[in-house]
Chain A
Amino acid sequence: MLLEQLSGNLIQGIILGAVYGMATMGLSLIFGVLKVVNVGHGAFIMVGAFVTLWLFNALGINPIIALPGAFVIGMGLGLIFYYTTMQRLIKAPELATLLATFSIGILLEELVKLIFGSEFRGYNWVVGKIDIGVTVLPLSKLYACIGSVIIALLLYLWFKKTRAGSAIRSVVEDSEGARVCGVNVGGAYALSFALGIGLTVSSGVLLTMFIPVGINPYMGGGYTLKAFVIAVLGGLSSPYGAFFGGLVFGLIENGSYTLFALIPGVEPFALTRFLSFVILLAILLIKPTGLLSTK
C-alpha cells in the first residue's frame, strides 16, 4: 500500500520535476553568463502565470499556445531590465546586483498586484486524465512535462548549433578571450539575460498546471527558494544541470512528503519545505559545484 503510494508520488514527482527543472534553467543561464544571481526569479515565474491566466480567462487561449507569447513577453522584460539596470551593474560589487534583481522582483509583484489585485485566482483547463494504475495523471500536467522537455532540448540545440549560441558559450568560457576574437560580449550578455528571463516567464505558464489553489502576485517567493535549491543541485551555472537538478528535486519533494506524512503530529508540507532548505545548505557546503559535476 505504502509502496504503491510512494511510487505513484514519485511518478508525479518526475513530472513536476521536469517542469521545476525548466523553471530553473533561466536562473542558471543568467548566473552562468553574467555571474548575476537573479533573486527576483520567482517574480518572473509569477508574471508567466498571470499571462496564462489573463490569456485564458479573457481571450480563451489554451495555455500551451500561451507559451510562445509568454516567452516573447519575458524576452521583452529581460531586455528592458538589462538595458535600464543590469548593464550598469555588471562590474559593480555583488551587493548591487543582488539588491537590484531583488527590487525588480518586488516591483513586478507590486505592479501585478496593482493590475490584478492580491487575492488568489485560478483558471480551469480541463483536458481529461489518464489512470496508470498507481496514480492518476491529469493530461494538463503531462503536457506541461512534455513541453518542458521539448524546451530544454531546443535550448540545448540552440546553444550547440547556432552562431549566437556558440558566442554565448565562448563568453562563459572566457569573456576577455571572446572579446579578442570579435564576439560582441555586451550583446551576448543582453541576449542571455533576455533568454533567461524569457525561459523563466514561460515556465510560469507550465507551473500554473500544478497549482490547485490558484495564483497570486506573491506566489513567486517559494519558487525562488526552490529554484535556488535546484540550481545548486545542478551546479548553479549550467542550464542542463539545472534541468536534472529539477528532476532530482521533484523526486525528493514528493518522496519526502509521503514519508513525513507517516510521522504522527507533524505538518508534512512544512517539513518538506524545511528539508529543501537543509539540502540547499548541505550541497553548498559539501559539493558547491553541483551533484552532476565530476570535479
Chain B
Amino acid sequence: MKKEITKYYPLIPVFAAYLLLFLIGRNISGMWQLVAMLLFYCALGQAFNIFLGMTGYVDFGYVAFMGIGTYGMALAITKLAHIEGLGIGIIIIGFILALLMSTLLSVAVGAVALRLRGAYFAIATIGVNEGFRFLIEGARIWNGSEGLIFTAQLNEILGREAASSLMTYWADIMVLIIAALAAFVTLYYMRSKIGYALTALREDEDAAKVMGINVTKYKIIAFITSACFAGLVGATSWALKTPYVFPPEVFEIHYTIEAIIIVLLGGAGTLLGPVAGGLIYGISKYYLAIFMPGFQLLIFAPIIIIIIVLFPEGVVGMLKYRLKDSALARFII
C-alpha cells in the first residue's frame, strides 16, 4: 500500500503549483486574468507532453484537436439550445461531444500519420490543421468561414449572471481540473507498462519493435489521449470563455508553436516540465506583451534554437539531473 502512495509523490509539486496559482488568483485582485492564462498554458503543455514528450514525435497539426474540441462544445450549445430544461447539462453534453470529436479526428489522423516515422510523420501532420480548416471553409460545414457565435444561446440557457460567471471564472477552474487530470494521466502512464514501452520507443524504435513491443499500439494510445485533452482544453478555454468559433482562429498553427515551446522549455517527457514551461512562457509572454508588444515571437524563436542546441533537456530535465541523489529526487520526474 505504501508503495502505491509513494508512486504518486511526483504529483505533489505539480498540484502545489496549481493550488498556489489558484490562491494567488483568488486573493490578489487583478491577478485572475494572468492566472487564467497561465492555467491555459500549463494545461496545453501538459496535454501536448503526453504525445510529444513521451514519444518524441513532433505533431505540427496539434492545434486541430483543440479546434475540433471547440467545435464540439459550440455545436452542442448551438444545436441543443432550443431543448427546454437542459440547463448546465448542455455543458456536459458539450464536453462529451468535444471528447468524441477529438477522439474521432485523432483516430483518423493517427491511422494515417502514425504509420509514418520521424520526418515523414511531421510532414504528414503539418497540414492537418490547415487541411481541416479548409475543409470546413470550403465545403461550408458548420457554417463555414462565418463560424458559430453562441453568446445569446448561453445567456438564454444559463441566465445572464451564470453565463458571465461561467465565462470569467468557472471555465478557468475547469481548465485547472483538466490540467491536473492530464498530469495524473501522464504519471499513471509513466508508472505503467505504457510509459516503459514509450521510453523504449523514443530511444530506439527499431530495437523496441524487435524486443516485441507493439509500438504502434502505444503510439496510438499516447496520440489519442493527448488529442482528447487538447479537445477538452479547446472546449473550455476557447468555447466557454469566448462563446464563438471561427475556423482561422481555432486552427491557427501559432498555438502548436506555443505548446512546443512550453514542453521544450520545461523538459520534454517530464511530469513537472509542462508546468514549469507553462509558467515561464506565460509570465514572460504576459510581461513582454506589456513592455514590448509585438516582439514576443522575435524573442522566443532564438530562445527555442538556443534551448535545442545547448539545453535539450529543458529546465526540469536539468533540475532532475542536479537533484539526482538528494531527498527531493522522488518528487521530480
Residues of A within 8 A of B (CB): 31, 35-37, 39, 85, 88-89, 92-96, 98-100, 102-104, 106-107, 109-111, 113-114, 221-222, 224-225, 228-229, 232, 236, 260, 265-271, 273-274, 276-278, 280-281, 284-285, 288
A contacts with B: majority SS: helix
Task: Out of A102, A228, A266, name the residue touching B123 (CB < 8 Å).
Answer: A228
Known: A37-B123, A94-B119. A85 touches B309 (CB 8 A): yes
Q: Is the CB of A85 within 8 A of B305?
A: yes
Give the CA-CA distance A260 to B304 in the complex, in Å.
41
Pick the 3 closest A-B CB pairs, nearest first.
Answer: A277-B131, A270-B138, A271-B138
Question: Smallest CB–CB gap between A118 and chain B, Å?
Answer: 9
Cα distance A94–B121 when bound, in Å?
A: 11
A35-B140 contact in complex given A99-B260, A228-B127, A277-B134, C-beta closer than 8 Å: no
Asked whether B138 lies within 8 Å of A267 as measured between CB atoms, the reply is: yes
Partner of B122, one of A35, A37, A273, A280: A37
Given A100-B305, A277-B127, A110 contacting B116 (CB threshold 8 A): no
Inter-subunit contact A107/B130 (CB<8 Å):
no
Residues of B bordering A, CB below 8 Å: 52, 56-58, 60, 112-113, 115-116, 118-120, 122-124, 126-128, 130-131, 134-135, 137-140, 144-145, 253, 257, 260, 264, 268, 295, 297-298, 300-302, 304-305, 308-309, 312
User: Cβ of B135 and Cβ of A274 under 8 Å apart?
Assistant: yes
User: Which A residue sits closest to B117, measured CB to CB?
Assistant: A94
Contact B309 A228 (CB under 8 A): no
Question: Are A271 and B115 neighbours in the complex by a CB distance under 8 Å?
Answer: no
Whether the pair A31, B116 counts as a contact (CB closer than 8 A) is no
Main SS at interface, chain B: helix
Q: How far is the CB of A126 from chain B (nearest CB, A)?
A: 33
Could you give 6 example pairs across A and B, Cβ below 8 Å? A95-B268, A102-B60, A104-B301, A221-B130, A265-B140, A273-B134
A283 to chain B: closest residue by CB: B124
* Cβ-neighbour of B119 out of A37, A106, A281 (below 8 A): A37
- The answer on a CB contact under 8 Å between B304 and A271 is no
B145 contacts A104, C-beta separation under 8 Å: no
Residues of A within 8 A of B304 (CB): 99-100, 102-103
* Bound CA–CA A222/B135 (angstroms): 15
The answer for the CA separation of A31 and B57 in the assembled complex, in Å, is 18
Residue among B52, B113, B134, B260 with max Cβ neighbours from chain A (10 Å): B134
Alpha-carbon distance between A273 and B144 when the two chains are bound, in angstroms: 15
Q: Among B116, B144, B145, B312, which residue has its beta carbon within 8 angstroms of that of A96?
A: B312
A228 to B127, CA, bound (A): 9
Instruction: Determine if A106 and B257 form an interchain contact, defined as CB atoms under 8 angstroms apart.
Output: yes
Q: Which of A92, A229, A266, A284 contacts B116 (CB 8 A)?
A: A284
Chain B neighbourhood of A106, CB < 8 A: 257, 297, 300-301
Q: A231's closest neighbor in chain B, by CB?
A: B123
Whether the pair B130, A281 counts as a contact (CB closer than 8 A) is: no
A107 touches B298 (CB 8 A): yes
Task: Please tell me if the beta carbons of A98 and B130 are within 8 angstroms of each other in the complex.
Answer: no
Asked whether B127 lies within 8 Å of A288 as measured between CB atoms, the reply is no
Nearest-CB residue, chain A, relative to B303 = A103
What chain A residues lie within 8 Å of B260 (beta carbons)? 99, 102
| C-alpha spacing A232/B78, complex, angstroms | 40
Contact B116 A288 (CB under 8 A): yes
Contact A266 B309, beta carbon cutoff 8 Å: no
Point out the residues of chain B lying under 8 angstroms from A278, CB to CB: 131
**Partner of B308 from A100, A236, A273 at Cβ < 8 Å:** A100
Q: Given A100-B305, A103-B304, A273-B138, A280 and B58 touching (CB < 8 A)?
A: no
Additional pairs, 9, CB under 8 Å, beyond known A266-B138, A274-B131, A281-B112:
A94-B58, A95-B56, A98-B119, A106-B301, A107-B301, A268-B138, A277-B127, A285-B112, A288-B116
From B264, B301, B304, name the one whose CB has the most chain A CB atoms within 10 angstroms: B301
- Known pairs A99-B260, A285-B112; A39 contacts B126 (CB<8 A): yes
**Cα(A274)–Cα(B304), bound, Å:** 30
Chain B residues near A94: list those with CB within 8 A: 56, 58, 118-119, 122
Minimum C-beta distance from A231 to chain B (A)? 8
Nearest-Cβ distance from residue A236 to partner chain B, whole angstroms: 8
Decide yes or no: A89 and B309 within 8 Å by CB, A35-B119, A267-B145 being known contacts: yes
